[in-house]
Structure 1
Amino acid sequence: MRPFCSAAQWQAELLDVEAYLDRLGITGPLEPDAETLRRLHRAHALTIPFENLDILLGRGIDLDVDVMQSKLLRSRRGGYCYEHNMLFAVLLERLGYEVTRLYARPLLDAPKPLPRTHLMLSVAVGGETYLADVGFGDEGPLEPILVADGTVSDQGGWVYRLAREEGTDKEWVLSLKRDDGWFPLYWYATEAHHHIDCVVANYFISTHGSSPFTGRVFLERIAEGWRLNLNHRKLTLTRADGTVEVRHVADGEVRELLAKQFGIELTEEETAVVVAALPAPEPS
């Protein structure tokens, strides 16, 4: 194996597996099979929120394993795709899974191509391959999805389809079912990526002015039967039955809202920085 392909680049040996399992509430034997993968994926998605607050707080996003686990596990914060999926990948590897890091291009009905910067995972289990992605926020899957052309996965009312890109055998599109049909979430190819690729893409997405994660407050949470999204002041609750509630958040409720709805405890000083990043309230 060439040196740059070594598993050591991912720092898996630094992961505190017991702290991770404690954060997820997972106990008992963990054989590296499809059922354990499903349990771990589901627990992570339901437990650790998606959030970009460290960018707004001026701390940036550090992809060192010890920094990520200190934040997401010990401090019980959240993160975005690199933190979620890089940490989840090393947990899986420590438990005996074969994991490949892949890059996806979000589609999302965007009027122009979006950068291919979303990190997701391919996991080999018992002769089959699963898409694993605990870092796509409130539209992401709750459980792994079998990689087979035309796979449809109903996950508590959120229905996903994974299909080959037309005319290819190595390119895939993940879509989410909506009332008007299939809504494409992202495209990906089965090309393995390395740690330095993550560092470069993470730098762009955490610093560039055109990134969706700079200059705005953005948090998401998945729960049983509903999903929550805070985009600046707009708080959207979507239920599995398709009903949606939307309201706007006032400055004075930000700290309590983050704690109660997203499980994120901020100091008064941190809250003030987050509030300052919000746009002016809409006139009543």
Structure 2
Amino acid sequence: MDTFQLSDSKRYLQRLGFDDKPAPTLDTLHRLQQRHTAEFPFETLSTLLRQPVPIDLASVERKVFEQGRGGYCYELNQLFLALLQELGFEARGITGRVVMNAPEGTWAARTHRLSLVTFDGVRYITDVGFGGMVPTAPLLLDSRDAQFTPHEPYRIDVQENGYLLRANVAGEWRPMYLFDLQRQEDIDYTLGNWYVSNHPESPFMGRLMVARTGDKLRKTLNGNSYAVHRFGQESERRTLTDADELIDLLEQEFDLRVPPRELLRPAVMELLG
């Protein structure tokens, strides 16, 4: 089983609103996951800049805590799993295939990382690294019912080769990702991360995606399209046309400490066309 050691779990827990180590309970897991998606943004600034994305734990901790950044699934779920294990949760990493916005029946590459947590034989999936549709609560694996979270309802369907996570968006059960419980080793994450951060056909290469949750809202940035989705209300959307305006938004709305502007501005200007 994959096990990791955080350099400073106290700092991590304080960012999540805990002064002391909480007990490894389902209630704690709910609180940790909801706070994590609000505190640590999903972001692809590194792949926009075509920079390496190391996923060893020390590199991820340095990026998030010292550089003031977020990350994507191979970073955020790696970090979260290390915290869960240190707190005494029975947890391990698993992987999946993203099919969001793809036709039903699509079989995509295995490029998503999440975690399986077990309480006395009862299994849940937990995920803090799925962009603008990240679940904000753990989901009971062996239930086919709709499961409510602080944001959208989710449902887990059984498939021939594993499971399919769906989210209810605008009254429609849309596919998010396929996953299974196959044992994973570091090399499996390394291969998936290499594809995501290097392969020319990766949807992350040269693309900017940022997401963060809040109280009954989600903030998303896809390229130069910024949206605030408030539940029960019309979404607020605007298109950004100025590089510095977009960089300001990264700092102010997503609380990111961005790379130097002279490095980031040319990539953003290319993004804006």
The TM-score normalised by the length of structure 2 is 0.92
What amino acid maps onto 1:100 in structure 2?
A: R
Which residue of structure 1 aligns with residue 232 of structure 2?
241
- Give the whole-Å Cα distance in 2 for the aligned partners of 1:51 and 1:66: 18
- Equivalent residue for 1:117, pick from 101, 111, 121: 111
CA drift of 1:242 comes to 5.3
Letter in 1 for 2:126: A
Structure 2 CA distance, aligned partners of 1:119 and 1:133? 8
Letter in 1 for 2:198: T
The partner residue of 2:261 within 268, 275, 278 is 268
Q: CA deviation at 1:265?
A: 2.0
Q: Do residues 156 (structure 1) and 150 (structure 2) align? A: yes
Residue 199 (structure 1) aligned to one of 177, 182, 190? 190
Partner of residue 134, structure 1: 128
Q: Is the 8 A contact 1:255 1:265 kept in 2?
A: no
Is the CA contact 1:217–1:277 (under 8 Å) kept in the aligned structure 2?
Answer: no
Note the alpha carbon deviations across 1:162-218, whole angstroms, 9 max, x for none. Answer: 2222xx4x7111111123421111111111211110011100110111111101111
Question: Which residue in the other structure is 2:39 paired with?
Answer: 47
Letter in 2 for 1:260: Q
The alignment's C-alpha RMSD in Å is: 1.8
Unaligned runs of 5+ in 2: none
Q: Alignment length, in residue pairs?
A: 269
Quote the residue 1:61 is aligned against. 53
Does the aligned pair in 2 maintain the 1:259–1:265 contact within 8 Å? yes
The CA distance in 1 between the partners of 2:137 and 2:52, in whole Å, is: 29
The worse-fitting range, judged by mean Cα deviation, of 264-273 and 79-88 is: 264-273
Helix, strand or coil for the counterpart of 2:71? Answer: coil
Match of 1:213 among 204, 209, 216: 204
- The Cα shift of 1:29 comes to 4.2
Contact kept? 1:103, 1:188, Cα under 8 Å: yes
Which 5+ residue runs of structure 1 have no aligned equivalent? none
Per-residue CA deviations over 1:26-65 (Å, capped at 9, x if unaligned) read 2234111111111111111111000011123343110111
Amino acid paired to 1:183? R
Q: 1:87 aligns with which of 75, 79, 82?
A: 79
| Offset at residue 268 of structure 1 (A) | 2.3
Supply the AA of the counterpart residue of 2:272. P
Q: Residue 31 of structure 1 corresponds to which residue in structure 2?
A: 23
Q: For each residue in 1:110-160, what CA deviation from the matched residue of structure 2 results, as whole angstroms up to 9, or x when unmatched?
A: 145321211111011233111100000121111111112313222234111
CA contact (8 A) 1:134 1:140 kept: yes
- Relative distance call for 1:157 and 1:79 in structure 2 (3 A) is closer
The alignment partner of 1:192 has SS state of coil
Q: After alignment, is 188-197 or 246-255 more displaced?
A: 246-255
Amino acid corresponding to residue 234 of structure 1 in structure 2: S
Q: For residues 234 and 272 of structure 2, what CA distance do their matches in structure 1 show?
A: 27
Check whether the contact 2:21–2:87 (CA below 8 A) recurs between aligned residues. no
